[in-house]
Amino acid sequence: MNLIAVVGAGTMGNGIAHVFAQKGYKVNLIDTQHTALEKALQTIQKNLDRQISKGSIDEANKISTLNNISIFESIELGVVNADLVIEAATENSEIKKKIFSLIDQYAPSNCILASNTSSISITQLGAVTKRPEKVIGMHFMNPVPVMKLVEIINGDQTSLVVTETIVKLTEAINKIPCVVKDFPGFIANRILMPMINEAIIALSEGVSDANTIDQIMKLGMAHPMGPLQLADYIGLDVCKNILDIMKEGFDNTKYAPAPLLVEMVAEGKLGIKTGVGFYKY
């Protein structure tokens, strides 16, 4: 693995680019929105400065990390020489299928295609390509430079050698791989999202205020962050999309996003990224 292309330069894409570039890989960061690329580079720079102030890296590491990242506004140009493409675009099945089909056309035939999807079927993403055996889920956690877990998802046709390669690569960037099967929401979000959704329902029923709900889960369950604060951090639009995908995937209304969540997303209250969610930022 030398060159890694990351498609989507939002919350997750910039973190994934940061981590690989810091480990010495060349990274092509791709987004259709120029502003997203600019913002991603600013975020990476800010996060590297934070690492310097904590003493975990030096100035030379910051410079080499930034030098390893190139930005592209088109998939066609950004993936041509890639050994691995990690897609981290918007959590929407149709968008991701279009992206996978495009990557498949332009990436080298031996290139592995991974998705950072939180919940969309890896098998279905693989099915739009001519290389389903080389398609795999690589679900990083937010914030990527800090969180150790990478949930690795095998599609129905993912080959053993591809899984082994991605497990080794995950270890090479000092993360811990956990391999799971391709079910809606996999493991992480299948368990996390119903909890967040229930916290939102309790809030809308007036059982308690946001701060108290979060305190109860932090103090009582030893969670480092309460569910409402975590939802703001993830992005309320991302939470809603994941719940919609699980509801459809399991054909079960127990995963239906809480009406308050739907309302907040419609109002553009998406959490930290828009400055307002369950809290103000």
Ligand X SMILES: NC(=O)c1ccc[n+]([C@@H]2O[C@H](COP(=O)([O-])OP(=O)(O)OC[C@H]3O[C@@H](n4cnc5c(N)ncnc54)[C@H](O)[C@@H]3O)[C@@H](O)[C@H]2O)c1
Q: Which residues are catalytic?
A: 118, 139, 151, 189
Nearer CB in complex with ligand X: 196/258: 196
Site residues for ligand X, window 128-187 (CB under 6 A)? 139-140, 142
Helix axes 227-234, 210-221, angle to 10 degrees: 110
- Report the 10 Å Cβ neighbour count for 54: 8
Q: Which residues are 180's β-sheet partners? A: 153
Instruction: Identify residues 62-101 at the interface with ligand X (CB under 6 A).
Output: 75, 88-91, 95, 99
Residue among 10 and 132 whose Cβ is closer to ligand X: 10
For residues 231 and 261, give the distance between their C-alpha atoms in angstroms, rounded to a whole number: 10
* Least CB distance to ligand X at residue 36 (A): 3
Angle between helices 210-221 and 188-204 (to 10 degrees): 140
Give whole-number Cα distances, 107 to 5, 69, 163, 204, 220, in Å: 10, 18, 19, 47, 48
Number of residues forming the site for ligand X (CB under 6 A): 28
Rounded to the nearest whole angstrom, what is the least distance from the CB of residue 48 to ligand X in the complex? Answer: 19
C-beta of 65 vs 119, nearer to ligand X: 119
Binding to ligand X by CB under 6 A, coded x per residue (else -) over 230-269, reads ----xx--x-------------------------------
Residue 31 as a binder of ligand X (CB under 6 A): the answer is: yes
Strands 149-154 and 135-140: antiparallel
Interface pick for ligand X out of 6, 11, 22, 121 (rule CB under 6 A):
11
Smallest gap from Cβ 205 to ligand X, in A, equals 26
Q: Which of 8, 184, 185, 226 forms a contact with ligand X (CB under 6 A)?
A: 8
Sheet holding 3-7, edge to edge: 69-72, 26-30, 3-7, 84-87, 112-115, 135-140, 149-154, 176-181
CB contact at 8 A, 136 and 154: yes
Residue window 110-129: x/- pattern of binding to ligand X, with contact defined by CB under 6 A: ------xxx-----------
Q: How far is the CB of 175 from ligand X (least distance, A)?
A: 13
Residue 215 near residue 228, CB atoms below 8 Å: no
Tally of CA atoms within 13 A in the half-sphere of 224 that contains its CB: 2
Question: Least distance (Å) from ligand X to the CB of residue 227?
Answer: 13
Q: Which residues bind ligand X (CB under 6 A)?
A: 7-13, 30-33, 36, 75, 88-91, 95, 99, 116-118, 139-140, 142, 234-235, 238
